[in-house]
Homo-oligomer: A and B are copies of this chain.
Amino acid sequence: MQVNQRTVTEAARRAQIIDAAIEVIADLGYGQASFARIVERAGLSSTRMISYHFQGKDELMWAVLLAAMGVVDERMDERLAGITDRVEMLRGYIESQVDLLRTHPEHMRAITEVARNARDENGAPQYAPLLRDLRVGRLERQLAQGQREGVFGEFDIAVMAQTISQAVDGAAARRETDPDVDLADYARELADLFTRATRPTDPARNPN
């Protein structure tokens, strides 16, 4: 069908631009990700192409964020599917996130860059609160349920969730400084760390 054809092409073009944007952001950072650099990476002729397919830079960056998070969340869902034990799920979350730094470094980096640096016209962060809600909120729910089940000790859920989320960023930072770091080791250490930090006071309850 003609309409479908055109819609598919449109979608493909958008995807091409988004992918190029992700690469540029990951390579050079949000601040250097100009339309000019993105079209160059995408192999397109003019920045006009971007303006045509996206309402503006904001929309492009939002699309980048959605696309990158879509890929990442899909992988996370695959890996965590079927895990019911809260302690295992925490470990799984950390190890999966860190593994994504290895398998999808550009997506992970792009998400961080956009969330940290995109600002509205007043200079206020635009997507950071949203991203925090998604990431930290998910962890908070897991931790709360675990506390109710008694497999976690007593701790402030918001602080713990935020700290776990940051710890993954720490792994990313480490990887950038030291590209040869063994991320599997790093992930295991991190999972151990937070297993200890979340363990109930009465060790009988969570003998990991």
Interface residues, chain A, with chain B CB atoms under 8 Å away: 27-32, 116-117, 119, 123, 125, 128-129, 132, 153, 155-156, 158-160, 162-163, 165-167, 169-171, 173-174, 176-177, 185-186, 189-190, 192-194, 196-197, 199
B177 touches A128 (CB 8 A): yes
Q: Given contacts A128-B176, A167-B167, could you give 14 more A-B pairs where the C-beta distance is less than 8 Å?
A: A27-B123, A125-B176, A128-B173, A128-B177, A155-B192, A156-B186, A158-B174, A159-B189, A160-B189, A163-B166, A166-B169, A166-B170, A166-B173, A196-B199
In the assembled complex, which residues on chain B have CB atoms less than 8 Å from the CB atom of A189?
155-156, 159-160
B119 touches A193 (CB 8 A): no
B159 touches A193 (CB 8 A): yes
Give the distance in Å from the alpha carbon of A192 to the alpha carbon of B125 in the complex: 30
Closest residue on chain B to residue A196 by CB atoms:
B197
